[in-house]
Amino acid sequence: MSDKVLEIRDLRVTFTTPMGPLAAVRGIDLDVYSGEMVAVVGESGSGKSVSFLAAMGLLPKSATVEGSVILQGEQLVGATPKKMRSVRGQLMSMIFQDPLSALNPVHQIGAQISEMLRAHQTMSKKAALSRAVDLLEIVGIPQPGDRARQYPHEFSGGMRQRVVIAMAIANSPKLLIADEPTTALDVTVQAQILEVIQRVQAQFGTAVVLITHDLGVVARVCERVNVMYAGRVVEHAQITNVFEQPTHPYTRGLLASLPQAGVDRLMPINGFPPNMLKPPSGCAFRPRCEHATEACATSVPELQLVGPSKSACLRASELMVKP
């Protein structure tokens, strides 16, 4: 496989809260290779955002981060705030569900993108503005020259997300982390934004981590998937294998809850995600799992090879034969 851009090993994030320590991420391993788009999928609260906010150095002081996050050979856990500021935007950038949170309401769009460029590169104001207009064009904003002089409130939600993508890729980062980038948009706009991200990935060779709770979205654009549950990766597989031969009962549940042609009733997974202040012993999915046995309560299952995939289910091999 091609070069590794990001290597996460045994990443753990614990928040200090008034109710006690909350273990949001409990030892995940994850790799991202140059130029690929890889997915991180899971229900609300599974630790998707916190994992990557930790990698970006964007968590509040109440978070303790342990383990290793290596970006292009450099360790980021424990890096100085100055180092992290230079990494962000230049080597790795992140976009979120709400594009307004990333934009300054009182500055013109072109000026905001120029500022991003000039923060990391020596460039005249004029050259930066001209590059900003090019970037707006790359992300599919019509009349980019005129639009560069407008303010965020003059853009629709989808157009704002395009602007945020333009800002995120301004300094040609190696890695773009897209955290639910389409969740707040309507369906047709969602597809357009995914296309923009794919175009950027192809044109600039940017690796992309797509964080989503929607396996349907993943199926269209990613090759590899990491399924997260309760702060752990419970399945890691090629997308085709996820659909044809899921190895973890939780992944099977996610698949069953996907809308299907001709089926008008969704099958949500029984029960609720665990309270991360008091996660269940052993496998965290155990209380919701129809296959759970006593053994599942005693130890936290590690990811293991099961056929072509990796699964953190103790009974994966057995259940694959007789699903």
Ligand X SMILES: Nc1ncnc2c1ncn2[C@@H]1O[C@H](COP(=O)(O)OP(=O)(O)OP(=O)(O)O)[C@@H](O)[C@H]1O
Q: Which residues bind ligand X (CB under 6 A)?
A: 15, 17, 22, 24, 42, 44-50, 60, 62, 213, 276
Task: Count Cα atoms within 13 angstroms, Cβ side, for 124.
Answer: 3
Regarding 49 and contact with Mg ion (CB under 5 A), the answer is yes
Q: Which candidate, 116, 8, 124, places its Cα nearest to that of 67?
A: 8
Residue 42 touches which of Mg ion, ligand X, none (Cβ within 5-8 Å per kind): ligand X
> Cβ(28)–Cβ(55) under 8 Å?
no
Least distance to ligand X, CB of residue 135, Å? 27
Nearer to ligand X, 40 or 314 (CB): 40
Residue 24 touches which of Mg ion, ligand X, none (Cβ within 5-8 Å per kind): ligand X
Least distance to ligand X, CB of residue 320, Å? 26
Q: Phi then psi for 3, rounded to 5 degrees?
A: -60, 150
The DSSP result for 160-218, as a single string, is HHHHHHHHHHTT--SEEEEESTTTTS-HHHHHHHHHHHHHHHHHH--EEEEEES-HHHH
Residue 41, strand partner residues: 212, 227
Residue 60 touches which of Mg ion, ligand X, none (Cβ within 5-8 Å per kind): ligand X
Least distance to ligand X, CB of residue 151, Å? 28
Residue 173 touches which of Mg ion, ligand X, none (Cβ within 5-8 Å per kind): none
Residue 275 touches which of ligand X, Mg ion, none (Cβ within 5-8 Å per kind): none
Distances (CA, A) of 167 to 98, 121, 134, 210: 14, 14, 11, 17
Q: Which range of residues in 45-53, 66-74, 103-111, 265-273 is near Mg ion by CB under 5 A?
A: 45-53
Beta strands in the chain (DSSP E): 4-17, 20-33, 37-41, 63-71, 74-75, 92-95, 175-179, 207-212, 224-229, 232-238, 304-306, 309-311
Least distance to ligand X, CB of residue 53, Å? 7
Least distance to Mg ion, CB of residue 97, Å? 8
Nearer to ligand X, 231 or 301 (CB): 231
Regarding 46 and contact with Mg ion (CB under 5 A), the answer is no
Give the alpha-carbon dihedral of 46, 299, 54, 36, to 10 degrees.
Answer: -70
Least distance to ligand X, CB of residue 70, Å? 21
Q: Which range of residues in 42-50, 67-75, 214-222, 294-302 is near Mg ion by CB under 5 A?
A: 42-50
Nearer to Mg ion, 24 or 159 (CB): 24
